[in-house]
Structure 1
Amino acid sequence: MPSARIPRADARTNRAGILEAARVALANDPHASVDVIARSAGLSRRTLYGHFDDRDALIRELIVTGAQRFNAIAESITDTDARLALARLAARLWQEAAHVQFAAVIALDEAHVAHTAEALAPLRHTVAALVARGQHDDSFRTDLPADVLARLIEEVARTVIARTDATSTGAADLAVRTVLSVAGLSWREADALLTTHPDISEPLA
């Protein structure tokens, strides 16, 4: 069986250029057309279609590459305290989403939510495990089943990302506090946690 063809260097460059142009174009206009994206990449519409079947295929690729970054962040969280782990995860995901909020909003749109859920499976597994651990040691609310609470946290985080201005002062802190509140911490408990661990909301270098 012949080995898979390795794309030529110029083809790989074109593909990377298209993805970057799509990020920029969609940041300016979430409804940017294929023609606009192709022009932004300095390529013809035909060349773009040589890499992606249609606009949805291009967006799905953006979702996959973005999901890889989110999944890597989830894997990097090592706090043993479930409260700290959830707070740090929320802060780091917010910082990443704030840089590409337009892509995060598109990814979380109903038209792409199923594909996004599949791409973010490792992250969702991390959230579910954190919820189970927090419920086991009474750090999180136990009036809801673990899978329901995990889903509720996901949905609230989705709304915060979609509805909050990422450039506004205190946006990251708001995101973290909201997630902790859904998990069952009172505002005083969340405040004490973040005061004791100010590094949680600090921007990554």
Structure 2
Amino acid sequence: MTSTVPTRRPRKDAAANRAGILRAAATTLATDPSASIDQIARAAGLSRRALYGHFDDRQSLLAELISSGAQRFNAIASALDEPSPPLALARLTAALWAEAAHVQVAAALALDEAHVEQTGAALAPLRRTVAAIVRAGQEDASLRTDIAAPTLGRLIEEAARLAITRFDASSPAAASLAVRTVLSVAGLSWRESEALLAAHPALLDTAENTASPSATESEAE
């Protein structure tokens, strides 16, 4: 008779330590993107050895941050329910921006040049949402039709990626700029973008009122 050993759930303190490491990593990397494992461990209030009890190396820690950022982006995409393709793009971009302001380090890691291929599969649900919006927009001619749908989808992804990773999340105007950039790539004129945002003033409220963690801490100081 084969005996089985029940799988033990991680202890609560171990789970809390892991979560604390991820928070410390995000905070530390926001200040110094090249921060070492030692720096992250100190920020988490743990020894280097204790950190290695949760993550094999720095790369595995970064992979976890990337995964959490991708999951949050995918959740936003799956919750999108907007029949108008231009408005759907605007809502998606604004929502991603608001989320990126909370997890901008993880977002930047997930979307930067060094990791973009690595996270392609992790961001598949988000990419499918963008592709569906593009197809619908080209079918009703609300988005540009001079570029093939797969190419246009990638261009929109690139515009959103650059906005999320390069624009200053603490700037009140950044969310609007991010949305306008994506809409411009999708084929809307600046007047059409202005009219869309004017017709839906609440669209940017959450994104514009969300500051990055580093900005919030600076204001508190």
Q: TM-score range by the shorter chain?
A: over 0.9
**1:89 paired to 2:89:** no
Residue 103 (str. 1) matches residue 77 (str. 2): no
- Partner SS for 2:117: helix
In the TM superposition, residue 166 of structure 1 has moved relative to its aligned partner by 1.4
Q: State the one-letter code of the partner of 1:92.
A: A
Is the aligned partner of 1:171 residue 2:174?
A: yes
Does 1:51 pair with 2:26? no
Paired position in structure 2 for 1:184: 187
Q: Which moved more, 1:114-123 or 1:190-199?
A: 114-123
Partner of 2:41: 38
- Given that 1:26 and 1:103 are in contact with CA atoms closer than 8 Å, whether structure 2 keeps it comes out as no
AA paired with 2:194? D
- 1:114 corresponds in structure 2 to 117
CA distance in 1 between partners of 2:97 and 2:136 (Å): 22
- Within 5 A, what are the aligned runs for 1:1-205? 4-203=7-206
What is the rounded CA distance, in whole Å, between the counterparts of 1:152 and 1:59 in structure 2?
26
**8 Å contact from structure 1 (residues 60, 115) kept in 2:** no
Question: Unaligned 5+ residue runs, structure 2?
Answer: 210-221
**Deviation at 1:3?**
5.3
Write the letter of the residue equivalent to 2:63.
R
Work out the number of aligned pairs and report it.
205
RMSD: 1.5
Contact 1:74–1:123, Cα closer than 8 Å, also in 2: yes
| TM-score of the pair, normalised by structure 1 | 0.94
* Partner of residue 216, structure 2: none
Deviant stretches of 4+, over 6 Å = none
Distance 1:188 1:41, change over 3 A: same
